Amino acid sequence: MGVQGFEIARVHRTREQARRSYDRISRWYDLVEGSWEKKLRLGGLAMLAPLPGEQVLEPGFGTGHSLEAIAAAVGEEGRVFGIELSPRMLGLAQERLEREGLALRAELSLGDAASLPFRDSKVDAVFMSFTLELFDTPEIPRVLGECRRVLRPGGRVCVVALSKAGPPRLMERLYEWGHLKWPALLDCRPIYVGHSLREAAFKVRESRLSTIWGLPVETVLAFKQETSKGE
Ligand X SMILES: C[S@@+](CC[C@H](N)C(=O)[O-])C[C@H]1O[C@@H](n2cnc3c(N)ncnc32)[C@H](O)[C@@H]1O
Q: Please state the φ and ψ torsions of residue 160, each to the nearest 5 degrees.
A: -115, 120
Which residues, numbered 37-76, are part of the site for ligand X (CB under 6 A)? 37, 41, 59-62, 65
- Residue 134 makes contact with ligand X by CB under 6 A: yes
Output 23 or 225, the one with its CB closest to ligand X: 23
User: Taken in order 177, 62, 87, 32, is the CA torsion positive or negative?
Assistant: positive
d(CA 122, CA 58): 13
215 binding ligand X? (CB under 6 A) = no
3 vs 108: CA distance, rounded Å: 35
Residues in binding contact with ligand X, number by CB under 6 A: 23
> Cβ of residue 191: shortest distance to ligand X, in angstroms?
13
Is 62 in contact with 29 (CB distance < 8 Å)? yes
Q: Are 74 and 53 in contact (CB under 8 A)?
A: yes
What's the N-to-C CA distance of the chain in angstroms? 26
Per-residue binder mask for ligand X (CB under 6 A), 82-121, x = binder: -xxxx--x----------------------xxx-------
C-alpha count within 13 angstroms, C-beta hemisphere, residue 38: 11
Give the CA angle between residues 27, 111, 184 to the nearest 5°.
Answer: 50
DSSP state of 132: G
> Which is nearer to ligand X, 41 or 195 (by Cβ)?
41
- Of 18 and 150, the one with the shorter C-beta distance to ligand X is 18
> 68 vs 124, which CB is nearer to ligand X?
68
**Closer of 10 and 203 to ligand X (Cβ):** 10
Q: Closest distance between ligand X and the C-beta of residue 141, in Å?
A: 14
What is the smallest separation between the CB atom of 75 and ligand X, expressed in angstroms?
22
Task: List residues binding ligand X (CB under 6 A).
Answer: 15, 18, 22, 34, 37, 41, 59-62, 65, 83-86, 89, 112-114, 129-131, 134
